[in-house]
């Protein structure tokens, strides 16, 4: 029963990370296409809340439930696919943490432009390009982690 609860929590967390990440990206990209500071400020505000409530919560619980699962099953954290998953998780975090700051900054820039009735400043567009570029490696790394979780390939090297 404990194993089933842990596994459910871990898989649910992975779904939240993937789904929230994809949803946030979609809505940010679509609002950015409008070039409307009012719309972008509104959507970016929702994105910052979603990242805080959903992504951050799942990001905290994933390693906890993953560790408890490995302990429950008896796997080593040095098991090939587990270790690669952990490395990819750190890799994702290295992209996600700056993205959170970028989203907050983009929201503030869009809010200021909306309040002034001005177009989005050059800094917003620069940050958006960085935000967009950071999304691809992080998203594909999350997909790779999920693939590793599902397939658990034998990645040991025979000597």
123-150 pLDDT tens trace? 999 999 999 999 999 999 999 999 999 9
10-64 pLDDT tens trace? 999 999 999 999 999 999 999 999 999 999 999 999 999 999 999 999 999 999 9
Residue indicated by tokens 């719309």: 39
Q: What is the Cα–Cα distance from 60 to 26, expressed in whole angstroms? A: 23
Q: What is the Cα–Cα distance from 25 to 85, expressed in whole angstroms? A: 23
Token pair listed for 153: 């390939």
Domain ranges of the chain: 2-151
């Amino acid at each position: 029963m404990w194993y089933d609860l842990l596994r459910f929590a871990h898989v649910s967390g992975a779904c939240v990370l993937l789904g929230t990440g994809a949803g946030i990206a979609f809505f940010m990209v679509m609002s950015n296409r409008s070039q409307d500071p009012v719309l972008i400020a509104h959507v970016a505000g929702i994105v910052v809340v979603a990242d805080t409530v959903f992504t951050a919560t799942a990001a905290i619980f994933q390693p906890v439930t993953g560790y408890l699962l490995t302990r429950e099953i008896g796997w080593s954290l040095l098991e090939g696919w587990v270790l690669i998953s952990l490395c990819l998780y750190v890799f994702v975090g290295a992209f996600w943490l700056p993205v959170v700051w970028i989203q907050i900054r983009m929201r503030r820039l869009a809010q200021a432009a909306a309040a002034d009735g001005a177009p989005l400043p050059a800094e917003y567009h620069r940050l958006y390009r960085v935000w967009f570029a950071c999304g691809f490696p992080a998203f594909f790394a999350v997909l790779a982690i999920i693939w590793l979780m599902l397939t658990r390939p034998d990645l040991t090297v025979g000597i």
